[in-house]
Structure 1
Amino acid sequence: MSAPPMFSRPTYEALAVDPAGRRHLFVADHRFEPSPETFAGLPADAPVEIWRTLAEARVAAAPHEGGGAVLRDFRSRAQILDALDHRLSRERVGLRLYAVGLESFIWDVAKIAADKGLDRDEYRLFHVGSQSRRVYCVHCRAVTENVSTNIATCSGCGAHLFVRDHFSRRLAAFAGVQVDAEVPGEIPAIEEVYP
């Protein structure tokens, strides 16, 4: 019951740094450990920070092409996003921001970046991990996280939603429409389609 891809579906490039940046901040929703190739093209003394979401918070130095990167771990997604919001409020021109992780996370980062005045060429989004989706119910406006099936139960109104391939960058979510609106209770087979 899946529909053909729509043009609103984001596409992502491979992780690469922008050598034009003066400072580089990587923000990840997992234990992100970039390879040395990630920093190809950067001067060895380029300031690099890596923020990751882990079970416990800590700050340490991590190697990067002969230089050092500041490695900062956060306890939760909410904590890292709050810290990013605060950081970007006082940031200067020259920062390059790289969001690495699940689609819902990287678009949360993109929203903060745009709200704080970063141009689209100053931040980059790199989707890694599960294809699970954040689904926005068009009926009650609730958001349901980590949906991996073609039909999901809305976390707000309980409707059975067909997960469309239409992605809203503003909402950072895919549209979900009630699958049994015309014939209540008539629900097609639920399939795992976004592992």
Structure 2
Amino acid sequence: MADTIFSTPVYPAEAARVAASRRILVTQDNGLPGAERLLTQFKDQGGPLLVLSPRSVGQRFEEMLGESLGKAQVGTRLYVCGDEAFLWQVRALARQAGLLDEEIEMFRSGARRRLYCVHCSTLQDIGEVDSSVCTGCGVRLMVRNHFSRRLGAYAGVCLDPNDPRGEGCA
């Protein structure tokens, strides 16, 4: 992909050292190096810590996260570790629960990310690729560096307007 632009998210390497009345760590997988680093940092800082992971709580993950965020008091900070698609999914849930952007820190670990087809509005997960075929309309998409924070996805636009479905390709 080309150079990053203003809308492309930038993720920190470590958590800010900010006081918190409670910390919630949501990790895609407890074994992620970023999650392990955060756990060590938070144990050193002390204070209440809740750790949630879809792998550890299974089907009830979103329900448990919603309950925890719904009960969050002023001073609660949310830390999310996982691939980009996971980060923005959890961020959307946190924003719906009333957390501010300043109370959410995200740490990327993994290649999966989300792509939004501007032609049919389909959202799909992709890896670190420059182009993809839309699962909704079949158009060959170029993955733009433009990132929508509202959708948690990169914009996918028609790669070749003269041959949108790639029929001319061998």
Q: What range is the shorter-chain TM-score in? A: 0.7 to 0.9
- Judging changes above 3 Å, is the alpha-carbon distance between structure 1 residues 38 and 140 closer, same or farther for their aligned structure 2 residues? same
The answer as to 2:107 corresponding to 1:108 is no
CA contact (8 A) 1:180 1:186 kept: no
The answer as to 2:127 corresponding to 1:147 is yes
Match of 1:23 in 2: 22
User: Partner of 2:26: helix, strand, or coil?
Assistant: strand
Shift of 1:34: 1.8
- Judging changes above 3 Å, is the alpha-carbon distance between structure 1 residues 187 and 88 closer, same or farther for their aligned structure 2 residues? farther
CA contact (8 A) 2:142 2:159 kept: yes
Could you list the per-position Cα deviations for residues 24-43 of structure 1 after superposition, in whole angstroms to 9, with x for gaps in the alignment? 11001112452464226613
Letter in 1 for 2:42: F
How far apart, CA to CA, are the structure 2 residues paired with 1:91 and 1:40?
A: 20
Shift of 1:187: 7.6
- Judging changes above 3 Å, is the alpha-carbon distance between structure 1 residues 93 and 163 closer, same or farther for their aligned structure 2 residues? same
The answer as to 2:57 corresponding to 1:74 is yes
How far apart, CA to CA, are the structure 2 residues paired with 1:159 and 1:142?
A: 11
TM-score, normalisation: structure 1: 0.75
TM-score, normalisation: structure 2: 0.85
How far apart, CA to CA, are the structure 2 residues paired with 1:39 and 1:114?
A: 23
Match of 2:49 in 1: 48
CA contact (8 A) 2:30 2:36 kept: no
The match for 1:157 among 137, 142, 161 is 137
The match for 2:151 among 171, 174, 180 is 171
Letter in 2 for 1:48: L
CA contact (8 A) 2:52 2:65 kept: no
CA contact (8 A) 2:29 2:53 kept: yes
Hey, which bits of structure 1, 4+ residues long, moved more than 3 A? none
Structure with higher strand content: 1
Structure with higher helix content: 2
Letter in 2 for 1:124: E
Identify unmatched segments of 5+ residues in structure 2.
none
- Judging changes above 3 Å, is the alpha-carbon distance between structure 1 residues 155 and 186 closer, same or farther for their aligned structure 2 residues? closer
Letter in 2 for 1:147: G
CA RMSD of aligned residues (A): 2.4
**Aligned residue pairs, count:** 165
Percent identity reads 35
Could you list the per-position Cα deviations for residues 152-173 of structure 1 after superposition, in whole angstroms to 9, with x for gaps in the alignment? 1111111111111111000000
Shift of 1:146: 2.7
Shift of 1:18: 4.2
Shift of 1:151: 1.3
How far apart, CA to CA, are the structure 2 residues paired with 1:83 and 1:116?
A: 12
